[in-house]
A and B are shown apart, each in its own frame.
Chain A
């Protein structure tokens, strides 16, 4: 192997390595948990009828049952939307992973395999030297392949991901508005009935009712926070991916310096190894 040829390969892979800051991608993909509120709210949406049923009569209850059927029918598809986004982010994380494209363990065991057979007539230190050179070269080649793959995925995935997140935002809004009607039905019922339970004999009933209203009010306040959290989470994921896409072809000064530094270290290591091979 000639030093010049190796240097040329490395220069080429450096040029192709492009600008995907893989750590940034890994960090982003790790934020998928921000979307978990959506799943919880989808389940809450499905169970609306169970919560409102005690307070419904006649025609209103009949309509509520129809709505219940439709919600249960849509439930699986609503969850799937979230599952796809999660899977996309998990796959992106793996693709950008530190170990996913690392072949140094395999090269290492190959070297050990060769060294275990002195009959082959290759000195241990020469085997190590060649293995180290191979490690550097494959590292740069697979690194370039990896960065290319990550950039592709982000570029091609953005439009569909943003459309999906937009859809999820609308869905959370419908969940919220449905919940608002549920809350007004439940709390409204007590608002209408309690005033008529003002006779002394109704005191126990009225008190029970008021205590129940307190509990329900707290429950709905709690749910309110979850809708806000879900909206925020979706927005944040959408903005994050937009940023990744914008920065994908830019290389910051710090990144260039770091790449050149690594490159210089690798060339030095290769020189030492080449000497050992020829030595």
Chain B
């Protein structure tokens, strides 16, 4: 449904609602003046209720029209959000890289000091950093 049609649907629904409003005003006037009995009043009110339901059904059509119309924009926005998340991830990777360098330095230093226990511990840190990247 084109945008123009969406507006037309809303306008039609508005008109039908206005009709129902007019019927209601006339009905209440008739009741006040005791021009009709209860059974007739109920019947007219039912007609009014039917009109309002039809108007609401048209508003629903216009609603679905909006949802369909936004499908493309929604996809575009998802794309933008993903791009931004990637950029945030890139910086995290750089942070991770700096962590990796720190751990490599510790590894080098412990190797220099020839302490097997700390070498193993340092190797484990490095491995974890690489997996995180």
Please list the residues of chain A having a beta carbon within 8 angstroms of any beta carbon in chain B: 48, 55-60, 63-64, 66-67, 70-71, 74, 77-78, 80-81, 84-85, 87-88, 91-92, 94-95, 100-101, 103, 106-107, 109-110, 113-114, 116-117, 119-120, 142, 145-146, 149, 152-153, 156-157, 159-161, 163-164, 167, 170-171, 173-174, 177-178, 180-182, 184-185, 188-189, 191-193, 195-196
Contacts and interface: CB of A to CB of B under 8 A. Distances in A.
Given A106-B102, A110-B102, A164-B77, 9 more contacts: A57-B49, A88-B80, A114-B102, A116-B106, A120-B109, A142-B91, A173-B10, A177-B14, A177-B55
A84 B77 contact: yes
Contacts of A103: 91, 94-95, 98
B80 A157 contact: yes
Contact residues on B (Cβ < 8 Å of other chain), bracket: 35 or more
B62 to A, nearest CB: 6
Contacts of B101: 110
A156 B31 CA distance: 60
B50 A59 contact: yes
B48 A188 contact: yes
Nearest to B103: A113
25 contacts: A55-B49, A57-B49, A67-B56, A78-B63, A88-B81, A94-B84, A94-B88, A103-B91, A103-B95, A106-B99, A110-B102, A113-B106, A114-B105, A120-B105, A142-B91, A146-B91, A167-B70, A171-B63, A174-B59, A181-B17, A181-B56, A188-B24, A192-B42, A195-B31, A196-B31
A170 B49 CA distance: 24
A117 B107 CA distance: 11
Contact of A70 (B45, B57, B112): B57
A149 B84 contact: yes
A64 B56 CA distance: 9
B5 interface: no
A110 B77 contact: no
Contacts of B109: 116-117, 119-120
Nearest to A83: B74
B64 interface: yes
B4 interface: no
B80 A164 contact: no
A110 B98 contact: yes
B62 A192 contact: no
Contacts of B76: 159-160
A261 to B, nearest CB: 25
Interface in B4-32: 6, 10, 13-14, 17, 20-21, 24, 27-28, 31-32
B46 to A, nearest CB: 6
B121 interface: no
A141 B116 CA distance: 39
Given A100-B88, A109-B99, A60 B81 contact: no
Given A74-B67, A92-B84, A84 B78 contact: yes
Contacts of B98: 103, 106-107, 110
B59 A178 contact: yes
Contacts of B57: 63, 66-67, 70
Contact of A113 (B52, B85, B105): B105
Contacts of A92: 84
Given A103-B91, A119-B113, A180-B17, A192 B45 contact: yes
A192 B87 contact: no
Query: What 5 A-B pairs come out closest when comparing CB atoms?
Result: A117-B109, A60-B49, A63-B53, A106-B98, A181-B52
B60 interface: yes
B74 A84 contact: yes
